[in-house]
A and B are shown apart, each in its own frame.
Chain A
Amino acid sequence: MEYSIALSKPAALQEPRIIRYLLTFIALAFLAFFIVLPLVSIFITAFQKGAEVYFAAITHPDALAAIKLTLIVVAIAVPLNAIFGVMAAWVLTKFNFKGKNLLLTIVDLPFAVSPVIAGLVFILLFGSQGLFGDWLFAHNIKIVFALPGIVLATIFVTLPFVARELIPLMQAQGTSEEEASISLGASGFKTFWYVTLPNIKWGLFYGLILCNARAIGEFGAVSVVSGHIRGMTNTMPLHIEILYNEYQFSAAFAVASLMSVMAILTLVIKDIIAWKSKSV
């Protein structure tokens, strides 16, 4: 601590004021152009033709069908990936076994795959020329260009989110609390419910929020498997694309503004969770 006496001038540890102002200006200008301006433009363009056009766009039957489909897909994909995330994190952090790193890499794999390819693989499995195509056709089961395909593609692209949040968290927490609980006679399930779950609560919420946001907004993968049937297999992002390509800009931006509100809510909830998990 002798250093601090010798270094009574904090100026040596700080950049000159002009540099500080310049860097702050560059950072804020960059964020203004790339983040704030696009966000603002969505809401302004959405209301450009007045509130009537806006509400007509978001209450149009096709838009409502897209909202409903998106919510159904999210309601199936997110809980499945949440259960998977907890299971995968449990096995990868509480035990040591051969091939652990390989399994960890496989869990991460969907992050490295382009969404278009994520959609393509399900076409190759369940499409008319696909591996199960003939069998599915014979039994009159539709997977691609229908709800199951959209759900599968969404599960694929959002698979790592919950697991990725939980693994570092549970690794840091170790196994001593669970071991104590088990040695005191609690069952495995009771240990999970009363010891592990409270510890990972905020991490789990955080992963769910990210998974949810991506599931709602996924475009590439869903676009490949949906078949673009209006009012049937269009999710909200696909509905926006159709409106945009038909030059119905105000309507496209109206639906986009709904999704932006969801994105902002996601950020706010994420911030609350980050704050809560720090204060616990």
Chain B
Amino acid sequence: MNNVSLPKKSRRIIPGFHLSLGYTMLYVSLLVLLPLSMIFIHTMSLSWTEFITIITDPRAVASYKISFGTALVAGIINAIFGTIIAWVLVRYPFPFKRMIDGLVDLPFALPTAVAGIALTSLYAPNGWIGQFFEFKIAFSPLGIIIALTFIGLPFVVRTVQPVLQNISAEVEEASASLGANRLQTFRKIILPELTPAILTGFSLAFARALGEYGSVVFIAGNMPMKTEITPLIIMTKLEQYDYAGATAIAVVMLVTSFVLLFMINFIQWLTNRRFIH
């Protein structure tokens, strides 16, 4: 063996590794990990039975049903209409297209409280839209769904749009030349390409909707057992200085959100794998 001394570690040419890693770790530890760990540390002060009693309290359970149910419906509405909007924006010409395309991001830019009071006044029984309906829209689960649809819309449109743009015309041409009609081409060729993006957009919108507070508290009416969302339960417990109760419910929400985040990453991993093949 020749005694050529190879450097033990592959040397990093670009400087700043230790500085940037250290700074990043310190920042996320102090501002994300330490604060979030408080939730789990604080729950430890509860016994298992106390914890179960708090999180299975009928009012809390009713709020999970409302939060999950409305977030799910809003997510499905967004998946369908978001895909249609992305399709129209990518494929069809119409006037003011650029401006309308820009407006899709409004829910990202508009403060949720502003969206909340605007939607409430529109859909309240005497509002511009609410007055035309016999039944209540604002102050009912329907109102929550509308608010959650509003805040979730850009997620689906903005994840589907680039994928739709990248589908090459050739596969559609091939499909058509083999005798498929338009609907068959859409169902068998285009939709399978779009599905991962639609699912990712749906999960992002759903996750955001689950935790949403600002826009919902105005339009929901916040009636216990009927239109009270889970974040509001946490808020109410905090205002009564019931820290243990608030953290127990927060654990339920956090675990759900993490499972969702994991699923989103899994979908994206599946999608990437498909493209590499």
Q: Name A residues whose Cβ lies closer than 8 Å to a Cβ of B.
A: 3-4, 6-7, 12-16, 20, 23-24, 26-28, 30-31, 33-39, 41-42, 45, 84, 87-88, 90-92, 94-95, 97, 103, 105-118, 120-125, 127, 129-131, 152, 155-156, 159, 175, 178-179, 182-183, 187-188, 191-192, 210, 213-214, 216-220, 223-224, 236-238, 240-241, 244, 249, 252-253, 256, 259-260, 262-264, 266-268, 270-271
Contact = CB atoms under 8 A, between A and B. Distances in A.
Interface of B: 12-17, 19-21, 23-25, 27-28, 31-36, 38-39, 41-42, 81, 84-85, 87-89, 92, 94, 98, 100, 102-115, 117-119, 121-122, 128-129, 146, 149-150, 153, 169-170, 172-174, 176-177, 182, 207, 210-214, 218, 231-232, 234-235, 238, 241, 243, 246-247, 250, 253-254, 257-258, 260-261, 265
Given A114-B253, A159-B32, A271-B102, A219 B213 contact: yes
Nearest to B119: A38
Given A13-B176, A84-B23, A263-B110, 14 more contacts: A15-B182, A35-B150, A103-B28, A112-B257, A124-B42, A125-B35, A175-B13, A214-B108, A219-B113, A220-B112, A223-B235, A256-B118, A263-B106, A270-B109
The 4 closest A-B pairs by CB, nearest first: A114-B211, A217-B111, A219-B214, A188-B15
A91 B250 contact: no
Nearest to B243: A129
Given A115-B214, A178-B14, A106 B33 contact: yes
A30 to B, nearest CB: 5
B177 A6 contact: yes
Main secondary structure of the interface of A (DSSP, over half): helix
Residue among B111, B122, B261 with most chain A CB within 10 A: B111
B152 to A, nearest CB: 10
Contacts of A41: 118, 121-122, 128
